[in-house]
Structure formats: structure tokens, C-alpha cells
Amino acid sequence: MKPSPFEISCPGSLDAAHKALHENPRGTRIISGGQSLGPMLNLRLARPSRLVDVTGLSGLAEIRQTDSHVEIGAAVTHARIEDGEVPDPIPGMLRHVAAGIAYRAVRNRGTIGGSLCHADPAADWVTAMTALGATLLVRDGSGGAREIPMSGFMLGAYRTSMAEDEILTTVRVPRHSDRARWGYYKICRKVGEFADAIAGFVADPESRVCRVVFGSTGGAPLVSTELAQQIATTGAVPPLDTVKTVLRDSGLTLSDVKIHQLAIAHSRAVTEALSDA
Amino acid sequence: MTTGIGARIERKEDRRLLTGQAKFVGDIKLPRQWEAAFVRSPVAHGRIRAIRKPEGMADRVFTAADLSDIHPIRAESSLPTYNASDQYPLAKDKVRFVGECVALCIAPTRAEAEDLAEQVEIEIDPLPPVIDALKAREADAPLLHEEWGNNLFLTTFFDGDIETLRKTAPVVVEREYSTARQCMNPMEGKGTLAHWDEKAGQLVVYTSTQVPHLIRTGISECLGLDQGQVRVIAPDVGGGFGYKCVLQPEELSVSWVARKTGRPIRWTEDRREHLVAGANTRQHHYKLTAFADERGRLLGLDAEITVDVGAYSVWPFTACLEAAQAGGNLPGPYDFGTYRCHTFSVATNKPAFTPYRGVARPGVCFAMELTIDAIARAVGREPSEVRKENLVPAGKMPFTNVTKKFYDSGDYPESVAQVERHIGLAGFRARQQKARAEGRFLGIGFSTFTEQSAHGTKVFAAWGLPLVPGYEQAMVKITPSGSVEVRSGNHSFGQGLETTLAQVASEWLTVDTSRINVTMGDTGVTPYSTGAYASRGMVMAGGAVSKAAEVLAGRVKTHAAHLLQCTPDDIRLADGKAWFGNAHVGFEDIARAWYLRPDQLPDDVETAGLEVTEGYKPAIDTGVFTYATHGAIVEVDPDTGMVSIEDYYIFEDCGRRVNPMILEGQAFGGATQGIGTALFEEVLYDANGQPLTSTLADYVLPGPAELPHFRLGHAETLSPYTRHGIKGVGEGAAIAPGGAIVNAINDALTPFGIEINAIPATPEKVLGAILRAGTLREASG
């Protein structure tokens, strides 16, 4: 379990990082905390000839707050979020999600941007950020920037809509009102392991937002506007059978056990959100 | 404070182990040393057509063709119907499991060796793989070893008059059970570093093993060397569990290449290699029919046991130890008269089966304990009552059971009663009913077992093994400064033997264990020992150290008597000194007189000196039986299938406890592994025999958050047949958790009318069963 040979560069600026990426986009991988890419390198499942380490880029480690958004640099670690360094876009949710990722040793190095770009279907941020309606700020080699909404970011397992020459710089999370509610529940066989089922729920009566998201479905997070509307209308947790029907009709290949676990995770997340009023 | 037998003292080895000062194979660096990486078979079953080395790398890549003068690993057995296998350290002609070594590559670093290994081209014609042991028994199954004409390493049959019972028994319970294939996962994987020492004229092999003297024999025989030309040194070993008690193909190929190239060569197993090529244990299947009376009193048992042995027969324990133990130990601690058992040791395209902590008993205990609970449910009684009534009562000890096991001592039903009391069975049923009314599902489960420890020469001989463990020797001596040295050919790989052997020496010599140095694991400097397995270390090596220390204490008294002007009988040893009344001489004075100033001693001095090697054999050769009952209370979440362990109580009796703290640690560790077996660990294969669990993300081990706070109780029924009444205990706690936890799960699931009969009881399995059962059946009581 030793990686095949590669070079690693630690550029001092985003421009330099883009330059390194531009030289050989196919053979180059961006590395941040390395908590997923590291094992893949050691298993020789990933075989880049060059790694570009972005953890040292100052802009990527910054946390900012605007009137409408909390902006988290892509190289901010899960541990910094867990420890409350990021202002709350919605009370307590980011800290809760961050604290549930793997183990502290992993959280100390793993980053939010790395986790999103890796796009593991069972990872936390892809589901949580979809529920929060976050957008991702990416920059390309020519200095161009664009924003990708989370709903259009992940295309499938380990696949995103980012182009080869783009680098994720900032995660923009909309600030919710004080009346906002959230729930996040995951079913894990073992503390710290990837989840078997994840459900996220965010509702803000002021901005008239209500989102229901399922994670660990084998692909991109599944967003259900149908369930969200039902909850917004009734203010109640949908019956399990209704949730299961939505999951069955989603077009995803899910076993009965998986459907049940996702439905239960959903029910628990929504119950949690609605009960702490 | 005395540091003798029974003292709860900290472990001598922990300082170095906990501060990173220990020296494992991976820590050793010799001049000119290179690293090895293996090319392993990518297919489960196939015929090798060609292996092509990269251009110019003929002297860095080795295949079976290069190792043509090596003898394969072949474990013979004297049992009738046994089929032996030839396992070449680098596959020859055929590959028989994914991960089998095909070529060995060497380079200055492991990464470079792996780069080289990637460039080796192998061409294999795939053959249909044999993955399911039950299907492998069928007549039209593909064959692993064509010359046998079937896939059976061994079948055994123990006959009993089951047919009469079938006509007369009021209660008949039939079940099928299965246990998953597992990897043992010691923290330190396997590692071997070999080099040729020109001065000594020896191949020196540092290897992570439990059995250094056996490995010397194995390497000598396969490489055609005299045993004097091989020295095996087991340095610090980070866990063994049985994985490191057999001769491994890598030990042979690395040794061969080191000798051939004249260069120290090291191979360090990585976790992926372990999870693929080390997936070698625990996989059993049972078909049981139990016959009982209306009260649940067991009358007889009819069993068919299939062990999924994998591709080869390991040396020296063979492919058949597991099934032999399973068939012999299935009746366990129970007293009943009629038993019939077929066993099948089946070859499949998986790594070669190796005995793991508990050897077969985690499987048989699981099967037997679930059957006891199934009988109790069939007769409508509390399972723990039925269990107690079926156990061998204390009044019948010593007891010879239906398979002729000689249970030396103990009170088995009392161990159940103790767990009932401490885990609170009396109040549990009411609590369970109340919880059910709230939609929570609690269950309670018990599991009782006996553990044949330190089974002796005759037992192993009866299992037909090529190599039978004999009697244990140990050396104890006083150094010129009065401290003590103990040498044993046994080995410590986490069990604390370094401390407990010192405690045994301290018991006789009264010297504090801080002044007793214990050396183990090096065939160059220790007396011969068959090694550490089968819970034999404390009984056998402890017994040998005890005997040697006792003789040495006598010599110390003789010398002290000269110095104190009295007779040896007048001398009493205490606090590391020899006393005659209030006068005393220290060990340092006695040692100085003997080693440095013998002129102070009389002319007729005892010249045997202050160094004693003694051998030991217990009074009986059939093993001594530790026993325990485990009790678990679990809660099953019927919506997720998750099982949480609310309480776990262990009551065990291993005779005299040499160091109670070490014993508790053994119980915690063993029970943790048992919980892995019960709820988490499972090697999965696809239809082509490809392992699907080759990283620790896929092969799930229990972590701290998944473990209960274990509670422990002890009895000390001394064995009448061993020194100090000691019985072996190292394996015990790994045996029972499967039975206790799954009995508790099934108790919790009673309202659903379902049973889990396969481990691990994963959320997927439990939830799947609940979903299949459909809507919740009304609880009848």
C-alpha cells in the first residue's frame, strides 16, 4: 500500500496553483486534507503524476460573513467548523454535521472543500450543503469565476460538474432566520464510518424555504420537493409509507432495507426539526 | 508488596509498548537491507500459463521456477480420509485464492518493490471458483486439488443412537446456523526479515510469530537446512490470535530469497494484504437437531458441521483441527447422553484456514447456545433455567462427557446463576414488557462454554497433527548481581507473559519482578518450546518456570546455608533474601559468593550452580477446562436494525489467577473480538471469489463507541492437575459473545416471531428479517 510515484507542489497563490494544474490537467489532482485521496493513492486507485496542495493558500482557509451568506474557504477543516469558528448560518447545524464526520483525527485534516469535490455519496457535506441551499464558488485558470448551486454540483458517485481546470475556493451558505429549523440524521453501523442512510431537513418560514434531502443513496443527494411541500403545508412528519413511495419512485436502485433506513432517517430528522420549536 | 502469583501488578512490557520503544520486525534495520513486495493472484482459481518478469529484472523478481529446490508446505495428518495439500510459497501451476503469492519482488524500498511488482505480467487461465462450502461438497463441484477427486480435506463421523431418540423424544428442535469468514486483524500485521549470518553459518529470521521454535523446524524442512543452520527470533509481536501460529508461505520465500541474494530482505504485511490473503478463519455452517424432554432437558444432539477451510492445509495445525475441535467441543458444558456428528472440512478458493482465538468454539458455542434458547422457547421456559438444568452439575466433577472430554473441575450452573444475579434477570422481564409497550425492544441472552486449555500431547496426537506439542521447558538463573533471568521458548505477543512468568519465578524466589528479566522468542537462546497457542502459555511455560524456580530456590538455600552457618532446611526466602532467624543474606551476596568469590564456599560446594532448566508436564494430558458464562442485555432498534449492548456481564473461572489485572484485560480484549464476530466482522466475496472487504472501510471492526462497559466476576476453582491450580484463559472471552448477544437479539425480537441464526447480526440482516416478517405480530404474553 504505497502510492505510485508522483510529484507534489505547494503553490503560494491560487494563480500558481492554476498554473500547475494547467500544465497537465489530466494527470494532476488537487489535494487538500488528503483524508480520502490519501488512501486512494496508497491503494493505487488514484494515480496522478502530480498533486497540487491547496491547504496553504491563504484565501482558501478564510471564513467570512456577509449580510446574506456565511462564506467558508474550501480548505477550512471539519475540526474548525466543529469547534465553532464558522458563524452559524442556521443555529448549530454546521457544528453538528462537522462533529459527526469520521473521527477527530480525520476532522483535523479533512476539509469541507475536499469532501465536496471528492463527492462520495455517503459523505456528510454533500447532503448537508444541499439541504442548506449552499452555492460553490469556483475559479478557472483564466481568472474566471462562477457559482454552482449545490443542487447542480454533484452529478453522481465521485462526479461533479466542475471542469478540469477549476478549483473550488469558497462554500457560500445562505444565512437563515432565527425561526429556521433543521434536522440531520444518519444511520451508521459504527461511529465514525460512512453512513448507510442520511436525511437532512431545513425549513425557514421567513424565506419560505423548505428542503428535504436524502444522502448515501449511491449517487448524488436526492432532493424531494414533494415531501418538502407536504411538510411545509401540514407542519407534520410525513407517514413512512409516503416517504418510501417517494424513494421507490426516485429512479434510484435501492434495496428494501435501504429504503426503510432512508425513510427512518428522514422521519427522525424531520421529527427533530419540528419538535424543538 | 509481594509480586508473586496473584499479585495485581502493572505489566513489565507496557512501558516500552506504550511509549513507542518496542521493537517489532518493522523497526529492525540491517545494513544492505531491501524490502519485498508480492505479486498476488488476481483470480480465485486458475491455471498459470506464464509469468513474465520485467526486462532486466531477473535478479529482483522471483517465481516458483526460481524456488525450484524448495519443498512445499505440506501438513500431513494421521487421520483416515485426510487429503493433504501442497502449498508452494510462490504458486506453481495453479492459483487457488485471490491474494495467493505468485512472485516476490525486491527493491531498496517497499514503494519501489511495489512499482516493480506492478510490472510483472501474469497470464492465468481462469477456472470456475468454489466459493460456497456446501456447494463444494456436491459431486459436480469444480475441484481445487484434482488428484483428490473431491473437495474434502477430511470427513469425520461420531456415531450415536439418534434414530431411537427421533422416535421417542417429546421435543425436537431443528436449526441451521452459520458464522462468517473473518480476518484476525492483529494491530501488527505479519512481518519477516531474513538474512544469512556468515559467521554463525545460520539463516537468521526475524519474524512476527507466536511459535518461533516451530517456525525454525518449518523453515529448515522446507529449505532443506539443518535446524542448527536456522535461528528464528520473534521480537516484540503486536498481537497474534492464531494468525501467527502457522508457517506462512511468505516466511519461506523471503528466507529463500535472502539466502539466495545474500541480502537482508524484509516483507511487512500491509492491511490490505491481511484483509485479502489473511481472510482465513471462523467460517462454519451447522445443521443441528436437538432432542429434549418436555422440560427442555437435552436428550441428544445430531449435528452436521461444515467448515469452509479454504485452499490449503496449514502447517502444523492442518485444515482439520477446526472441524475436529468443532465436532469434539459442540456438546460443550452440557450433560447429555446421545450425540451424532458428521464434520466436513471443505476446500474452497479462499485463504487457508487458520485457528483463531477460541478455535472452533466461537462457532460451536454460538450454535449450541442458540439451540438451548430455542429449546427453552419450544417448551415455554426461561432459557437460563433450561441452561442451568442441562449443564454438568458441580456434584458430578470431575466429569467425562459424551465425546470423552475430561472436565477437571468447576461449577458450571453457578456461573449462570452469578450472571443472572449481576445482570438482573429477576427484574428484567417486567422491564422488557414495559419497554415493549413503549415500542422499545430489549432482550437478554446468556452463553456458557468450556474452554479446553493447554490440551496436551495425547489430545494433539489424537487430532492427527504432524507435530505434537510436548512438555515445556524453562530456564531460571541468578545473575552475578543477584537479579533473576527467566528464559522460555514460549512467546508473549500481548498476553503479558513477560510479567506473569516473572510473577511465577517471584513466587518461589521472592525477588521483586522488577529484578526478574524474562527472555522469550529467540530459538538461539531459549529452551525448546512448541510455543504460545491453545491457551497453553500460562499452564505450560508457567509450570516449567515454577518447577525451575523451585529447584533454584533449593540451590539458593544451600548456598545461603553455607554463608549463614546453618542447614538449608533452616533457610526461609522472603523479600529477595535468605533468612536464618533474624539473620539474612541477600541474593546479591549469594550470587557474588558463587560467581565471583567461590573461595568463600566450602570444598563440597553444590556445583550445579545458580542456573536451572526444568521441564514440565501437567498431571493429566487431556487439558484443563476453564469455563464462563456471559450475559448480555441488548436493545434492538426495529426501524434501523441497529443493536446496542446495554449491559454485559462475564463470570469466569480459570483456576488460579496469576495476575488478576492481566486476566481482566484478556477478558475485555477477547469479548471485544467476540462482539466483532457477533455484530460486525464479515469477509464477503462475489460470485467470482473476489473479496469485497479489502479495506477497513468495508471490513468493519468494533470501535470503542460500539462496546459496552464490561463487568466481570470470578471464581477460582483450582485445577487439581496443574502447578498452582492454573488453567489457561487467553482465548476464553472471545468464545461466548456470539451466543449471548444473538440470544439477546432473538429474545428482543420474540414479538416479531423471528430468529437471527447467522452472524454477524448486521443492521441489514436484522432489519431485513424484521421487514420480511411484515407487520408486528401481537405479543402473546
Last residue within a domain, chosen from B616, B634, B658: B616
Residue of A nearest to B680 (CA): A189
Q: Inform me whether the C-beta atom of residue A241 falls under 8 Å from chain B C-beta atoms.
A: no
* Inter-chain residue contact B767 with A257, CB threshold 8 Å: yes
Question: A247: domain range?
Answer: 181-275
| Residue the block writes with cell 449491559 | B647
Clarify whether residues A163 and A66 are in a common domain: yes
Alpha helical stretches, state H, A47-109: 78-82, 93-99, 104-109
E strand segments, B479-571? 484-488, 516-520
Clarify whether residues B58 and B90 are in a common domain: yes
Clarify whether residues B675 and B767 are in a common domain: yes
Residue B359 lies in a domain: yes
Closest partner CB to B764 (pick from A3, A4, A257): A257
Give the pLDDT confidence of A106-128 residue by residue, as tens digits.
Answer: 999 999 999 999 999 999 999 99
CA B708 to chain centre: 23
B contacts of A44 (beta carbons < 8 Å): 114, 118
Clarify whether residues A45 and A65 are in a common domain: no
* Inter-chain residue contact B111 with A2, CB threshold 8 Å: yes
Alpha carbon of A240: minimum distance to chain B alpha carbons (Å): 11
Clarify whether residues B624 and B605 are in a common domain: no
Q: Tell me the CATH number at B259.
A: 3.90.1170.50
Q: How confident is the model at residue B778 (pLDDT cuts 50, 70, 90)?
A: very low
Alpha carbon distance, N-terminus to C-terminus of chain B: 57
Q: Tell me the CATH number at B718.
A: 3.30.365.10
What is the per-residue pLDDT for B471? 85
Q: Tell me the CATH number at A15.
A: 3.30.43.10
Q: How confident is the model at residue B634 (pLDDT cuts 50, 70, 90)?
A: very high
Question: B475: domain range?
Answer: 471-616
Clarify whether residues A43 and A71 are in a common domain: no
Residue of B nearest to A261 (CA): B640
Clarify whether residues B762 and B637 are in a common domain: yes
Q: Inform me whether the C-beta atom of residue A6 falls under 8 Å from chain B C-beta atoms.
A: no
Residue A192 lies in a domain: yes
Clarify whether residues A42 and A132 are in a common domain: no
Q: Inform me whether the C-beta atom of residue A3 falls under 8 Å from chain B C-beta atoms.
A: yes
Interface test with B, best of A43, A101, A190 (most B CBs within 10 A): A190
Per-residue pLDDT for B691 more than 80?
yes
B contacts of A256 (beta carbons < 8 Å): 768, 771
What value does the mean pLDDT take over residues B614-633? 93
What value does the mean pLDDT take over residues B569-577? 97
Clarify whether residues B295 and B405 are in a common domain: yes
Residue A259 lies in a domain: yes
Residue B289 lies in a domain: yes
Closest partner CB to B697 (pick from A194, A260, A261): A194
Q: Cell triple for residue B48? A: 498459470
Q: Inform me whether the C-beta atom of residue B26 falls under 8 Å from chain A C-beta atoms.
A: no
Per-residue pLDDT for B1 more than 80?
no
Alpha carbon distance, N-terminus to C-terminus of chain A: 50
Clarify whether residues A70 and A45 are in a common domain: no
Q: How confident is the model at residue B202 (pLDDT cuts 50, 70, 90)?
A: very high
What value does the mean pLDDT take over residues A252-268? 97
Clarify whether residues A140 and A76 are in a common domain: yes
Domains identified in chain B, total number: 3
| Residue the block writes with cell 466461537 | B362
Residue B665 lies in a domain: yes
Clarify whether residues B483 and B599 are in a common domain: yes
Clarify whether residues A32 and A65 are in a common domain: no
Residue A2 lies in a domain: no
Per-residue pLDDT for B546 more than 80?
yes
Last residue within a domain, chosen from A155, A174, A193: A174
Per-residue pLDDT for B781 more than 60?
no
Q: How confident is the model at residue B779 (pLDDT cuts 50, 70, 90)?
A: very low
Closest partner CB to A192 (pick from B114, B703, B768): B703
Clarify whether residues B510 and B572 are in a common domain: yes
Residue B7 lies in a domain: no
A contacts of B274 (beta carbons < 8 Å): none
Overall size of chain B counted in residues? 781
Give the pLDDT confidence of B13-24 residue by residue, as tens digits.
Answer: 999 999 999 999
Per-residue pLDDT for A277 more than 60?
no
Q: Cell triple for residue B625? A: 477446562
Name the pairing type of β-strands B279-281 and B284-292.
Answer: unpaired
Contact status, residue B720 vs residue B408, Cβ threshold 8 Å: yes
Q: Tell me the CATH number at A142.
A: 3.30.465.10
Q: Inform me whether the C-beta atom of residue A257 falls under 8 Å from chain B C-beta atoms.
A: yes
Give the pLDDT confidence of B654-679 residue by residue, as tens digits.
Answer: 999 999 999 999 999 999 999 999 99
Clarify whether residues B729 and B658 are in a common domain: yes
Q: Tell me the CATH number at A223.
A: 3.30.390.50
Residue of B nearest to A40 (CA): B695
What is the per-residue pLDDT for B780? 36
Residue A111 lies in a domain: yes
Tell me how far apart the alpha carbons of residues B276 and B282 are, in angstroms, rounded to a whole number: 15
Alpha carbon of A66: minimum distance to chain B alpha carbons (Å): 39
What value does the mean pLDDT take over residues B733-761? 97
What value does the mean pLDDT take over residues B350-375? 97
Clarify whether residues A117 and A193 are in a common domain: no
Q: How confident is the model at residue B775 (pLDDT cuts 50, 70, 90)?
A: low
Clarify whether residues B349 and B231 are in a common domain: no
CA-based nearest residue to B351, from B252, B253, B250: B250
Residue A1 lies in a domain: no
Residue A227 lies in a domain: yes
Domains identified in chain A, total number: 3
* Inter-chain residue contact A190 with B700, CB threshold 8 Å: yes
Contact status, residue B162 vs residue B300, Cβ threshold 8 Å: yes
Residue B341 lies in a domain: yes
Residue B628 lies in a domain: yes
| Residue the block writes with cell 530482505 | B265
Q: Inform me whether the C-beta atom of residue A4 falls under 8 Å from chain B C-beta atoms.
A: yes
* Inter-chain residue contact A189 with B700, CB threshold 8 Å: yes
Alpha carbon of A216: minimum distance to chain B alpha carbons (Å): 15
What value does the mean pLDDT take over residues B416-432? 98
Least confident of A80-89, A255-264, B369-378, B532-541: B532-541
Residue A87 lies in a domain: yes
* Inter-chain residue contact B111 with A5, CB threshold 8 Å: yes
Tell me how far apart the alpha carbons of residues A158 and A148 are, in angstroms, rounded to a whole number: 16
Interface test with B, best of A44, A189, A254 (most B CBs within 10 A): A189
CA A27 to chain centre: 25
Kindly state the DSSP code that residue A177 receives in the 8-state scheme. Answer: P
Closest partner CB to A193 (pick from B111, B640, B700): B700
CA-based nearest residue to B364, from B535, B179, B135: B179
Residue of A nearest to B770 (CA): A257
Q: Cell triple for residue A103? A: 473521527
Least confident of A69-83, B305-319, B419-433, B529-543: B529-543
Interface test with A, best of B640, B693, B776 (most A CBs within 10 A): B640
Residue of A nearest to B273 (CA): A1
Last residue within a domain, chosen from B600, B616, B632: B616
Alpha carbon of A11: minimum distance to chain B alpha carbons (Å): 26
A contacts of B767 (beta carbons < 8 Å): 257, 260-261
B contacts of A39 (beta carbons < 8 Å): 695
Clarify whether residues B254 and B368 are in a common domain: no
Q: How confident is the model at residue A276 (pLDDT cuts 50, 70, 90)?
A: low
Per-residue pLDDT for B631 more than 70?
yes
Residue B148 lies in a domain: no
What value does the mean pLDDT take over residues A242-252? 96
What value does the mean pLDDT take over residues B701-730? 94
Per-residue pLDDT for B456 more than 90?
no
CA distance to A76, A82, B73, B136, B664, per residue, from B104 (Å) = 43, 46, 17, 31, 42
Q: How confident is the model at residue B777 (pLDDT cuts 50, 70, 90)?
A: very low
Clarify whether residues A137 and A85 are in a common domain: yes
Clarify whether residues A193 and A164 are in a common domain: no
Q: Which phi and psi angles does B261 have, rounded to 5°?
A: -90, -15
Residue B13 lies in a domain: no
Q: Inform me whether the C-beta atom of residue A261 falls under 8 Å from chain B C-beta atoms.
A: yes
Q: Cell triple for residue B527? A: 529452551
* Inter-chain residue contact B762 with A189, CB threshold 8 Å: yes
Clarify whether residues B544 and B448 are in a common domain: no
Contacts of B55 (CB under 8 A, 6+ apart): none
Q: Inform me whether the C-beta atom of residue A99 falls under 8 Å from chain B C-beta atoms.
A: no
What is the per-residue pLDDT for B621? 84
Kindly state the DSSP code that residue B372 receives in the 8-state scheme. Answer: H
Last residue within a domain, chosen from B225, B258, B277: B277
Give the pLDDT confidence of B582-591 residue by residue, as tens digits.
Answer: 999 999 999 9
Residue A222 lies in a domain: yes
Clarify whether residues B425 and B489 are in a common domain: no
